[in-house]
Amino acid sequence: MQRPTVCAVLTCSAAVLVLTAAGCAGAPPDRDTEKPTSPGGVTAQAGSATSVHVMWDRSTDNEAVAGYEVYEDGARVEAVTGERNMTDIDRLTPSTAYTFTVRARDAAGNLSAPSDAVPVTTPAPTPDDRKAPSVPGGLRGRVEGDGAVGLSWRRATDDTAVTSYDIYQEDSRIHSVRGTATTARITGLRPGTVYTFTVRARDAAENSSGDSAPLDLTTAPGRGEGPSTAPRDLRATARTKDGARGIELEWTPPRVGRGGEVREHQLFIDGELATTIVWGGDPPAGTATYHFTVGEPPGTRYSVKLRAKLPDGKWGDFSAQRTLVTR
């Protein structure tokens, strides 16, 4: 026979019920009523005739910031998670003045006071403009302190005008700056991680240039962390062998020390695990190579990256990502 719980037994009287509720459920937790701080450093930059890029400094909270809400003239137009501090507002009207504010929200639903209002005006449309800007050149960068990098590039040209530069990390746009700028600072990055940046130029008609040459930057390791375990110097080349289109990879496996060997790598294509590369014999001492065929037609774009299985059985950090188009 199952023994009844204490809460089931103590039901003799109203007085006992009160004690039961207090003893079994415990005191109700204090409700979080403290609001996050108001976001500072809000900027709004027109990226085209119909879009604006809004960015802000992160807020603080006694618990944690769960998200941010962006308002245009008092009406909420966008909401993002607490990990983000920028967003793009699309489907706007050309040649129109807008005013944006940002509020932080915690898990209890407390909203901060609105940030300072930031005005921006979208440029006039150029419906006949179908020519994309040139590709930004000379992308360079440096790691700045914990979790931040600084980027710079040469100006692109356009038959009308470059209205913005979009910064991509792998295949995701993470930041935009005005068309007169040639620098950007990216924050909120993880320690000890390889990031691959490219830059595209955009005009008021939403014509976007091709990607700049990629730039790999590795953030400093966190306290107590060892060196990066990411494969290094990844190169991806489109090649045709025996009449079949394919991609050839070359890279340097990570150093694992103490005589350990890397015998397996995982290959990710377009962000998805495609296969595991395993050497039947001894792994290569220096540069490793791998060739695989692709079935999509010529002109297909692929993004590839690797990570290694370490001697302790765990998977290491991802390599830089490489993007290419098959011929």
Residues linked to residue 101 through DSSP beta bridges, in sequence order: 71
Query: What is d(CA 42, CA 69) in angstroms, rounded to the nearest whole number?
Result: 12
> What pTM does this model have?
0.68
Helices (H), 208-253: none
Let me know if the fold of 43-121 is the same as that of 232-325.
yes
CA pair distance 197, 321, nearest whole angstrom: 9
CB proximity list for 54: less than 8 A, separation 6 or greater = 42, 43, 44, 70, 78, 86, 87, 88, 89, 100, 102, 118
Q: Beta strand pairing status for 118-121 and 97-106? A: antiparallel
Predicted pLDDT at 263: 87
Superfamily of domain 43-121: Immunoglobulins (2.60.40.10)
DSSP state at residue 24? I
Nearest partner of 232 among 260, 210, 262, judged by Cα:
262
Q: What is the helix (H) or strand (E) element at residue 87, kind and residue range?
A: strand 86-89
Rounded-to-integer distance, Cα 169 and Cα 186, Å: 10
Q: Which fold has domain 137-218?
A: Immunoglobulin-like (2.60.40)
pLDDT tens sequence across 55-84: 899 999 999 999 999 999 999 999 999 988
Residue spans per domain, the chain? 43-121, 137-218, 232-325
Under CATH, domain 232-325 is a member of which superfamily? Answer: Immunoglobulins (2.60.40.10)
State pLDDT tens for residues 231-275: 999 999 999 888 888 999 999 998 876 556 888 999 999 999 999
